[in-house]
Amino acid sequence: MFLIGEALIGEEPELAHVDIIIGDKNGPAGQAFATGFTQLSAGHTPLLSVIRPNLLTKPATLIVPKVTVQNMDGAAKIFGPAQSAVARAVADAMDEGIIPKEQAEDIVIVASIFIHPQAEDYSKIYRYNYGATKLAVQRAMDGFPDVDTVMKEKDRTMHPIMGFNVTRLWDPPYLQVAIDIPDMDFVKKILKQLPQSDHLIIEAGTPLIKRYGLDVVSKIREARPNAFIVADLKTLDTGNLEARMVADATADAIVISGLAPLSTIEKAIKEAKKTGIYACIDMLNVPDPVKVLTDLSVKPDIVELHRAIDAEDSAYAWGSIPDMKKVHPKLLVAVAGGIGKLEAGSAKVSDACDAGADIIVVGRSITKAKDVRLATEVFLEDMQKAEIDQYRVMTDF
């Protein structure tokens, strides 16, 4: 037996994060237990978990502090409420049948626990570490999470201690607001007026980047720290270099021109995957987008079917969306050009969604509107997509 569990419970500074290993005494878990018990390091002294002095918990549990203990106040938190919490949680887990009693003498547990140096409330330290330990044990014994759960949940939220969010596009459709007017004062004005929404993407348009460079991304990030930001470079060469530049600028996606050589596109996609950003291919003026997608040995995250501003009297090229998704089922398809304008023949958001679009790109119909917030909210409402329940995301587990 070799099981692994983890749980985080509570609020800072008393927040508890517990990682555990459960396994046979005669296996790698037993070896780790013995090694940790006998090989001490300054500030991270392992200790046996006792419910109270002279009452060792069963199965035997070794506590390893994650944070360096620098003084006796820190030691008291470990040797007092945390030690007792871990011990009692393990014993209660066995009492409740989570750990079979017949295995009490055959297995050991190694628990790595986090105690914030600024934690002061001993009651919270105890309660949070008790809950986190018990939940970690339960998860280890149940094999939680399974692979399907990880694949479903991995993009929904981020670790709360990070202090910022890295947005992923897991719940389409999305509205992408393209800011392409090369005027920084104008950009700041637009950013202030855009509503907060889980389904809103901000695009640093090509003219904007041509004037200000990728530094404009950091300006957008300052105003909208948790936004998903697209850098529309329309890369035609040096794909890996430009993808790395976009990632370094803290953008979430790079736009590559579908007219670029396949090698350039593939290098950009591979570099994007290395750095954890999205790769989008803009199919503007590409005669056969499906062929380009098919010919690529590595597939992008997004394909944009783009009707140029200078060609808005031409037809929308949305007929290939189902064919592209057959080539790459996980593909997100964005559509851009003339959506939502009041002129006769313009497309609606509902038209794009019905055609299979996952991202609706809108530029001046929003950015040049008299009321930017209202115009954006109308587009969001037309998508008929409810806001993500962030409380559910944070508390499900």
Instruction: Give whole-number Cα distances, 231 to 17, 181, 188, 281, 380, in Å.
Output: 36, 14, 16, 12, 22
Number of Cβ atoms within 10 Å of the Cβ of 118: 8
Asked whether 362 and 382 are in contact (CB, 8 A), the reply is no
Q: Which residue has the tokens 């348009």?
A: 205
Catalytic residue list contains 17 = yes
Catalytic one among 17, 116, 199, 306?
A: 17
3-state secondary structure of 235: strand
The tokens of 269 are what?
Answer: 């996609």
Distance, in Å, from the CA atom of 385 to the CA atom of 256, rounded to the nearest integer, reads 28
In whole angstroms, give the CA distance from residue 313 to residue 311: 5
Task: Compute CA 297 distance to the chain's CA centroid, rounded to the nearest angstrom.
Answer: 26
The closest of 123, 111, 115, 19 to 57, measured between CA atoms, is 111
> HSE on the CB side for 287, CA within 13 Å?
0
For the chain, the C-alpha Rg in angstroms (whole number) is 27
Q: Which residues are catalytic?
A: 17
